[in-house]
Amino acid sequence: MAFIVPKSPQLTSPGTSRYLARRACYTLHAQFDAVADLSDSQFGPGARPHREELSVSEPIISVSGLRGIIGESLTPELAIRYVCAFDQTLPQGRPVLITRDGRATGRMLAQAVAAGLQGVGRNTIDADIAATPTTGVLVRSLGAAGGVQISASHNPAEYNGLKLFSAEGRVIPAADGQQVLQRYRAGKISWSPHNRIGHEIACDDSISAHCALVLATVDVERIRKRKFRVLLDSNHGAGSVLGRRLLEELGCQATLLGDQPDGHFEHTPEPTAENLAGVLARVRQSQADIGFCQDPDADRLAIIDETGRYIGEEYTPALCVDHVLRSRPGPVVTNCSTSRMTEDLAAKYKVPFYRSAVGEANVVEAMQCHSAVLGGEGNGGIIDPRVVLVRDSFVGMALILDAMAARGEKISRLADELPRYEIVKTKIALAPDKIPAGLAALKKHFADATTDALDGLRLDWPGRWLLVRASNTEPIVRAIAEAPTEAEANRLCDDAAHVLARV
């Protein structure tokens, strides 16, 4: 697949009416647009922060959290104000979990967050370094009122951020997040007197509950018998904390790269083909059966096959869906910018397929509404509600190893069996005030397409599609096209650019 301009228990369904309401206001909770030219894949470019939120003095803020440059747009003082606003939305009497992804600035922010929350009378649980999906599991298993994960996902080392979790162990939904944002803007904090401040609670074991839930989704003995040779690149993020334990439990002969979670990234954090060039060679040299590559907070997973070929992130949800639907058919959800491979697989196994707006929160809403067995995003994020309603690289690793063991096939063969498409991603200059007219012009020009305005404008034809969405940080729109060939996908993006140039 070509990429041009690369860049636990099941929870109760909220009901169709709630999902439709969320669909109508998806812009309130698509999670974090990426900064500048960085990929939108972790937080999703559907967020619509106010224009003043994009000033130099503030981080990029959405209703689900924030991210910024340490010492510039993200300071300890700002972090304290933000988590104190979060505290005001939470039920009293239960602690808040604090975790971080291993970045060098994470401990400093964790201490600030803990001080702020304790200062308003909230007890905190310190689980130290943990992956984002592990945070979701811990919030539930420890009975916390909520959680704060300190991470900037795939962004460079100078960035960090805060991601907020509800008591359900998922990223906070729109209504809750909007309350946090309003209270943060109001800036009112009620500090507790000396005899009512909160205290810190230690978490001695942060990974066992998550590991057990992941192992329960696969045939552990079947995988152990194969004694797979696995290379895991955690790139000095949080992934190795559970990654090492999980691979040991599955009987794998593991080679770990960047297993010290200190934030000293050996390559640019986003797990794209360009950034993983050195890792591709290591997979070949170590004669591994498969290579797994995580982003710093370990919610995304890219795959390298036994020949050193970059299979990528779009294939992660598709490989997992193909394996799960063979034995446990049920509804599947992906967002509207994810490859249609998963949609084709749903048709193959005769199960319902649903599409959401971009952003993890949107995928989770749709999963809950439709009781989906799996959900995912094309950035390598797979969500299994049996484990946690958070994108989870460890679920992806376990399911893919289980697929290889069940079918006795190499990962290269499993990937080559999937439907083949090419994705092209481009940027098109367009002033913000021209976006409504531009989308209308595209709809008119591509009159033969099926249209969907769930998130920007998506145009569908048999076997191909085009998505055009506004950027929050630049006067551009992002165009993503998928078709059987790269030339066809490029043609769709070029046609869109020509139409928008005339607006």
CA dist., res. 459 & res. 79, Å (int): 40
Specify the CATH number for 26-206; select among 3.40.605.10, 3.30.360.10, 3.30.365.10, 3.40.120.10: 3.40.120.10
Q: What is the mean pLDDT of residues 229-238?
A: 98
Using left for φ > 0, alpha for ψ between -120 and 50, and beta otherwise, residue 394 falls in alpha
The reported pLDDT for the residue numbered 174 is 79
Confidence at 474, pLDDT banded by 50, 70, 90: confident
CA dist., res. 94 & res. 36, Å (int): 38
The reported pLDDT for the residue numbered 471 is 81
CB 192 within 8 A of CB 119: yes
φ, ψ for residue 246 (rounded to 5)?
A: -60, -45
Partnered with residue 301 across adjacent β-strands are 294
CB 328 within 8 A of CB 373: yes
Chain segment 346-377, per-residue pLDDT in tens:
999 999 999 999 889 999 999 999 999 999 99
Domain with CATH 3.30.310.50 in the chain: 422-501
Dihedral of alpha carbons 442, 443, 446, 447, sign: negative
Tokens of 418: 């999937």
DSSP, residue by residue, 42-90: TT-TT----GGGGSTTS-EEETTEEEEEBTTTB-HHHHHHHHHHHHTTS
Cite the beta strand spans of 380-456 per DSSP E: 381-383, 422-429, 450-452
Average pLDDT across the chain, whole number: 89
Chain segment 55-84, per-residue pLDDT in tens:
446 788 876 899 999 999 999 999 999 999
17 burial class (0-12, 13-18, 19+ CB within 10 angstroms)?
Answer: exposed
Whether the predicted pLDDT of 468 surpasses 80 = yes
Residue with tokens 């040299």: 285
CA dist., res. 342 & res. 338, Å (int): 8
Tell me yes or no: is domain 422-501 CATH 3.40.190.10: no
Residue with tokens 């063991």: 405
Most confident of 60-64, 173-177, 200-204: 200-204
C-alpha Rg value of the chain to the nearest Å: 22
CB 173 within 8 A of CB 165: no
Q: What is the DSSP letter of 148?
A: E
Which residues, at least 6 apart from 217, have a Cβ–Cβ distance to it below 8 Å? 384, 386, 387, 395, 398, 399, 402
Chain segment 5-32, per-residue pLDDT in tens:
333 333 333 333 333 333 333 333 333 3
Q: What is the mean pLDDT of residues 315-338?
A: 97
The reported pLDDT for the residue numbered 57 is 63
Per-residue exposure over 27-65, b if at least 16 CB sit within 10 Å of its own CB, e if not: bbbbbbbbbeebbbbbbbbbbbbeeebbeeebbbbbbbb
**Among this protein's residues, is 393 annotated catalytic?**
no
Q: What is the mean pLDDT of residues 149-163?
A: 94
Domain with CATH 3.40.120.10 in the chain: 26-206
The reported pLDDT for the residue numbered 473 is 63
CA dist., res. 274 & res. 258, Å (int): 18
Pick from 234, 238, 233: nearest CA to 128: 238
What letter represents residue 32's amino acid? Answer: F
CB 127 within 8 A of CB 138: yes
CB 397 within 8 A of CB 242: no
φ, ψ for residue 247 (rounded to 5)?
A: -65, -35
Catalytic residue among 41, 141, 153, 393: 153
CA dist., res. 303 & res. 54, Å (int): 34
Tokens of 452: 């969907």
Whether the predicted pLDDT of 102 surpasses 70 = yes
Using left for φ > 0, alpha for ψ between -120 and 50, and beta otherwise, residue 38 falls in beta
Is 0.85 topped by the overall pTM?
A: yes
Chain segment 436-452, per-residue pLDDT in tens:
999 999 999 999 999 99
CB 53 within 8 A of CB 60: yes
The reported pLDDT for the residue numbered 54 is 39
Tokens of 431: 């002033």
Tokens of 175: 């209504």
Confidence at 117, pLDDT banded by 50, 70, 90: very high
Dihedral of alpha carbons 242, 247, 251, 256, sign: negative
**Distance from first CA to last CA of the chain, Å, rounded?**
32
Chain segment 384-406, per-residue pLDDT in tens:
999 999 999 999 999 999 999 99
The reported pLDDT for the residue numbered 161 is 97
CB 462 within 8 A of CB 468: no
